[in-house]
Each structure stands twice: as structure tokens, then as C-alpha cells.
Amino acid sequence: MPIIILGGDTARRSYWKAYDGGSGLAYLAGQFVPRLRQEGFGESEIRQMPVENPAWAFVFADAPDSQTAVDRKSGGQFEATRRAARETMDPLVLGLDVGTSSTKGAIADLEGRLLSSTTSTYHYASPHPGWAEQNPEDWWQAVASVSRSLLSRHPEAGPRIAAVGVSGQGVAAAFLDANGRPLRPAILWLDVRSASQAERLNSRSGESIAAVSGKCPAAYNVEPKLLWVKENEPDIWRKTWKFTTTTSYVVFRLTGRAVMNYSDGGILLAYDLRRNSWSKELLELMELPSSFFPELAPCSEVIGEITGEAAAETGLAQGTPVVAGGEDTSSAGLAIGVVSSEEALLSMGTASTVYIPLPGVGVNPRLLAFPHVVEGLTLVGGSMVAGGCAMDWIAKLVAQRGDEAIGQSPGTLAILACEASETLPDARGVLFLPYLSGELQPINDGFARGVFFGLNLATRRADLVRAVMEGTAFAIRQNLQETRPLEADPKRLIAVGGPTRNALWCQIIADVTGLPLQVMEELGGAPLGDAILAAKGVGLISSYSEMVEVHARCANRYEPRAELRSTYDRLFGIYVDLYPQLKELLWRLSAETSSKAEMGGGTVCRQRSEPGE
């Protein structure tokens, strides 16, 4: 079966199409065409190369039906050729995850085994209270550094990298001019300056927005940030060509194309969950120009190739295919095999998130719903601002001289966890609302604040530490409870992240939620999920399971203790009732303290790097 190489389709796919006589049943990755030339093949030979010759030629099926058809037409030679090509080239894939405090990269083979991984850290700035900003150039420099570091460790891997996938922190907003240069620092997900814009959207059109996008307006999201810039920085607004999220900015720098993947874009308020497109009606409702919004693409779709400029900065081969990528939580979920509605993904880092993959589209406006990187699934659940940082905060607050170290060290945390394990399961009557920097789901309130409720003369530091653990566990349970109207019924929690090393905390989460909790071995995280997307996108694997099954392994398992169920059920009822009773007072307090804080200076904040940021 001869392969006729046609030109790259720059409108939708920038890798080369290969046709068996024009029927369009297979793909040949464009990056290998220069290699064929380097091997001495002439143009006529490339255009007529037979499938039986696997030298340097990757043959990819467009779809399972197409693969079957090619096998039938070629007498079963197609899959044999594909296997031979894989064995000859021993291809690798690169995944990059650009988080709040670091960029992680990993090179993996086609069975999900990691060849190498590395991290580059950076910080975000808070020039005013409630603000959080990063220079997009820091993201790019970290990506370039990670890529060069990986390739310098393994120079033999460079020519074998067949595709690249990217994920990143969700809903950061970078503003680009007509030349693709950032106009100002990007506004991050934890920035709450646009709380008034979010409240205005919510009061005017909240129900309409939630019905289409699956979420209510809140300050963490992009559209309130856009409105803030429109109203407060008109010069920036006039010069803006596109805004991008973290992931789409890096993809733009790699390929020169402003494209946003479904999972990343799906968190935005203007995203139509049912159509996987920007909603013209919602954009008009929010008075935002559609021209600012990047093109959308499926997560595993190849949307471009490494440009010459990007190749020079990253060390990657020019022409290497790049897929649209994913949102970091969903990519991490793919890496550990969370692709079933029987499982809830719990990612615990500085913040915490809990999501359940549901078939089709389910909407609860108090939660967040957005596409999984796995086609046909929607992640429904919530993010909680204070996860691991709540434990760091209480450790620093109550640490004493004589502890192994003062503050947030592992030794201090271990001492405090040991003390907390010896106090009562109800923290001697103390409840904690973990709203240390506002809260996302399910209350969606940027003005909420943390509360210790029930302090008394018998309260010890161990009780406060346990109350923090229980309070964050109640927040997880509340988000899970909100999924029940959508007929979600997870059988277990699949957990990743630094805080899962705290055995007492994991046991408390299992007890409070009533679900078994499996802590997974973390060998790749979101970068591995991105690498899997890349392999799928260029056809090196036909299903995600080919790279997931060998990697997704349980390290520890915690079973809920039946004897504590009634205790935690009663405390959870009080926890859920507490915030509504305090909401108005918290708003008044926030307004009072914010006006005074504005007289102070800004700070530069640093966060440790954990999955789920």
C-alpha cells in the first residue's frame, strides 16, 4: 500500500496526512519527513514509500474504524508495520505541567514508565492585598529550563521525542498584544480583586451563566478578571489581542498558535459544556468580545508543531507535534487512572480539589463542572483554597520551642499529627471553617474567612490541629454531597499530593466522608498525564490504558471506621449550618479589614509545589 504524502493542513492539523490512494485512513507525523530526507530518501521515494518499509515512518490510525480498514486493505500489514516502527524508533513523549509555584516536566515511554523528570520553581507577586500575579515569561523560561535540563541529562532522548503535551494551573489570565507579547502580569486563580465584578455577574445573570457553563461567577474565574482589566486598565484593554490561560500561553509559545484545550477552557464562564464551544449568548451577556477568546480544541488533538524559535529555546526538535493539552487536575487524574464515576479524584496540595468523572454533562451551580481530558467525561466537584496550606498555617501558629523545628517542617508536622491523634475525634468540641483566603466550591465566596468555633478553656493545640484536619475533611464531604443530585455515587477516593503523606489526615478524611481512601504512588502526576495525551494524539497508543495501567498503583489504603460515623455525621451537620449563619458578619468584617489593609504594602508570596495547584 503506497503512502502519498500531502501537505500539512495548517487550519486544523499541522502534522502531515498520509493517504492510501486518497482515502485518508492514516496519518504520518510530519516531524519524520525531514528525517526521511536525512536518511537519503528522495522526494519521489517519500511520496511513494510502501507501508512494508517501516524505516523512520510512523503510521498512525485516525480512528479505530480507520485502523481496521487499513488492516483489511493492506492484508493486516498496517498494525504490524506500526509495531515495527515503534520498535525501530523506541519513541518517547514529553509532558509539561506549569503550576502556581513550579513547572514540572517528564519524559515517558509508551508504557508509562518515566525516563526522567525535573522541576523549575518561581514565585508569584501580591502587590496589593488579595492580588496574585505572575509574569508569563516566568512560565516560559521555566518550560525552556525544564526541557533543556531533561534533554541534557538524556541527550539520546531528543530525537526520539515524538510529541509534547502541556497542562497548567487553571483560569490564570495573560493578556497578549497583537505580536503575542504579554501586556501585563497574568492574574492568577487565587487573585480576588475581581470579587465585585463576579458578584455583579452573579446578581444579574448567575442562573443563565450556570445553566450553560456549569458554574457560578466567582473571582477565581477569568471573565471577572477580564472585566476588572476592562474597567480599571483601559489602555491594556485596548491593546489586547487575545487572553490565554497558563496552558494556552505555553502552547502558543511552542507553536505560534493561540489554542485552548477543552478541559482548560471548560472552567471558564463563557464555555458551553454541551457544545464544547464559546457561548455567543454568554459573551454578549457579560459584554466581552469573542475575538479575545482563543480557538478551542480537544485535549489530545495535535494543534501545531514546535517552531524554530521554540526549538532554539527549549532544545526540542523543530516540527515536533504539540497537542492541545489539559487542565492540571484532569491530567493528573488521567495519570492515576481516574476515568470512572465510581472514583473521586482528591488532589491535595497547597489547595485541595475533589472531582468525580461523570458521563455526559451534569450541572450544579454551586460546583465546578468542566471536561475531563478523557473524551466523553465531565469532571464535577470543587476546589478548596486551603488544603495543605491550612496545615502549614496552623503548624506555624502553634509550634513551640522544643519542637523539632519551628514552623512548617516535616518534623514539626509529624509532632503535631502525633499529638492530634491522641485527642478526641471531635477535637474536644472545636470546629474549623477552612476559609483562610476566601473559598471556592461549594460556597463560592471570596469574602469568607476562617473560623475556629467552640473554643473553650480545655482546648489544647492538639485540638486545634485536629480541628483543621477535620474542617478540611468536612469541606471535601460537602463538595461530594453536592454531587448527589447529579446521581454521582463514588465508591472510593483516589488521592494524590504531599498532604497524603499525613496518615492521620488521610484516616480522618476516610472517616468523615465514609469512603475508602486510596493514596496513589506518584511517579509522574500531571506531566505524565500530558505525555499520555501526546502519545494518544499522534496515534502512538490507541487507548489511554496502554500507558496508565502500569503506572496507577496504590501505596496506602484507609478504610472508614464505622464507630465514628454517627459522631462525624452530627458534626458535619453543624459545619454545614455554621457558614450561612456567619456569612453577613464575615462580609462586614472583610470590608472593614480590607479597607485598612489597603494602606499597607504588597508582598511576594512563595508556595511549595504540590499536585492540584
Angle at 297 between CA 291 and CA 302, to 5 degrees: 125
In whole angstroms, how far apart are CA 221 and each of 128, 244, 245, 353?
19, 13, 11, 15
Is the same domain home to 304 and 223? yes
Backbone angles phi, psi at 85, to 5 degrees: -65, -40
Is the same domain home to 284 and 163? yes
* Cell numbers for 612: 492540584
Residue type, 120: S
Q: Looking at the predicted structure, is the pLDDT value of residue 238 above 50? A: yes
Q: Looking at the predicted structure, is the pLDDT value of residue 508 above 80? A: yes
Q: Is 346 helix (H, G, I), strand (E, B) or coil?
A: strand
Q: Is 173 helix (H, G, I), strand (E, B) or coil?
A: strand
Beta strand 114-121 pairing with 124-126 = unpaired
Question: Residue 43 has what pLDDT?
Answer: 55
Question: Sorting pLDDT into bands at 50, 70 and 90, what band is 351?
Answer: confident
CB atoms within 10 A of CB 284: 12
Beta strand 259-261 pairing with 186-187 = unpaired
Residue 545 falls inside a structural domain: no
Among residues 183, 193, 186, the alpha carbon closest in space to that of 169 is found at 186
| Residues comprising the chain, all counted | 613
Mean pLDDT (whole number) for 541-554: 83
In whole angstroms, how far apart are CA 128 and each of 554, 591, 598?
42, 15, 7
Is the same domain home to 238 and 327? yes
Q: Looking at the predicted structure, is the pLDDT value of residue 110 above 60? A: yes
> Is 56 in contact with 89 (CB distance < 8 Å)?
yes
Looking at 335, 360, 381, the residue that finishes a domain is: 335
Residue 308 falls inside a structural domain: yes
* Cell numbers for 197: 465584578
Residue 64 falls inside a structural domain: yes
Q: Looking at the predicted structure, is the pLDDT value of residue 549 above 60? A: yes
DSSP states along 318-340:
TT-EEE--EEHHHHHHHHTT--S
Question: Residue 38 has what pLDDT?
Answer: 60
Question: Sorting pLDDT into bands at 50, 70 and 90, what band is 44?
Answer: low
Residue 128 falls inside a structural domain: yes
Q: Looking at the predicted structure, is the pLDDT value of residue 500 above 70? A: yes
Backbone angles phi, psi at 488, to 5 degrees: -80, 135
Is the same domain home to 70 and 182? no
pTM of the model: 0.82
Is the same domain home to 268 and 153? yes
Question: Sorting pLDDT into bands at 50, 70 and 90, what band is 564?
Answer: very high
Q: Looking at the predicted structure, is the pLDDT value of residue 13 above 50? A: no
Question: Sorting pLDDT into bands at 50, 70 and 90, what band is 49?
Answer: very low
Q: Where are the beta strands (DSSP E) in 92-132?
A: 92-98, 102-108, 114-121, 124-126
Question: Residue 403 has what pLDDT?
Answer: 56
Is the same domain home to 393 and 513? yes
Q: pLDDT tens digits, residue range 374-401?
A: 999 999 999 998 888 899 999 989 887 6
Question: Residue 71 has what pLDDT?
Answer: 39
Question: Sorting pLDDT into bands at 50, 70 and 90, what band is 7?
Answer: very low
Is the same domain home to 153 and 258? yes
Which of 29-38, 71-80, 151-160 is most confident?
151-160
CB atoms within 10 A of CB 236: 14
Among residues 245, 250, 203, 249, the alpha carbon closest in space to that of 223 is found at 245
Is the same domain home to 303 and 172? yes
Mean pLDDT (whole number) for 417-439: 93
Question: Residue 6 has what pLDDT?
Answer: 31
Query: Which is higher by pLDDT, 2 or 292?
Result: 292
Mean pLDDT (whole number) for 142-152: 98
In whole angstroms, how far apart are CA 544 and each of 79, 167, 493?
18, 17, 21
Mean pLDDT (whole number) for 466-495: 96
Q: Looking at the predicted structure, is the pLDDT value of residue 177 above 90? A: yes
Looking at 335, 370, 398, the residue that finishes a domain is: 335
CA trace torsion 49, 51, 53, 59 (10° rounding): 100
d(Cα 245, Cα 223) in Å, to the nearest integer?
Answer: 12
Give every CB contact of residue 325 below 8 A, 6+ residues apart in sequence. 165, 166, 167, 168, 247, 251, 261, 264, 299, 331, 530, 533
Q: Looking at the predicted structure, is the pLDDT value of residue 410 above 70? A: no
Mean pLDDT of all residues belonging to the chain: 84
The residue to which cell 510512523 is assigned: 58
Residue 369 falls inside a structural domain: yes
Question: Sorting pLDDT into bands at 50, 70 and 90, what band is 402?
Answer: low
Is the same domain home to 157 and 67? no
Residue 301 falls inside a structural domain: yes
Query: Which is higher by pLDDT, 448 or 470?
Result: 470
CB atoms within 10 A of CB 557: 12
Give every CB contact of residue 554 below 8 A, 6+ residues apart in sequence. 518, 519, 520, 521
Is the same domain home to 279 and 187? yes
Question: Sorting pLDDT into bands at 50, 70 and 90, what band is 605?
Answer: very low
Q: pLDDT tens digits, residue range 288-347?
A: 999 999 999 999 999 999 999 999 999 999 999 999 999 999 999 999 999 999 999 999
How many helices, marked H, and strands, marked E, lie in the chain? 20, 30
> Is 316 in contact with 309 (CB distance < 8 Å)?
no
Q: pLDDT tens digits, residue range 566-587?
A: 999 999 999 999 999 999 999 8
| CA-CA-CA-CA torsion sign (508, 510, 512, 513) | positive
Backbone angles phi, psi at 540, to 5 degrees: -70, -25
Mean pLDDT (whole number) for 410-436: 91
Query: Which is higher by pLDDT, 577 or 424?
Result: 577
Is the same domain home to 365 and 217? no
Q: Looking at the predicted structure, is the pLDDT value of residue 73 above 60? A: no
Looking at 54, 89, 124, the residue that finishes a domain is: 89
Mean pLDDT (whole number) for 511-535: 93
Residue 67 belongs to what H/E stretch?
Answer: helix 64-73
Domain tally, the chain: 3
Is the same domain home to 370 and 514? yes
Residue 237 falls inside a structural domain: yes
Residue 364 falls inside a structural domain: yes
Mean pLDDT (whole number) for 164-179: 96
* Percentage, residues of the chain above pLDDT 90: 67
Query: Structural domain of residue 58, as residue ranges?
Result: 4-89
- Return the minimum-mean-pLDDT range out of 116-120, 306-310, 361-365: 361-365
* Cell numbers for 291: 475575538
Question: Residue 120 has what pLDDT?
Answer: 97
CATH number at residue 578: 3.30.420.40
> Is 304 in contact with 318 (CB distance < 8 Å)?
no
Question: Residue 497 has what pLDDT?
Answer: 85
d(Cα 613, Cα 611) in Å, to the nearest integer?
Answer: 6
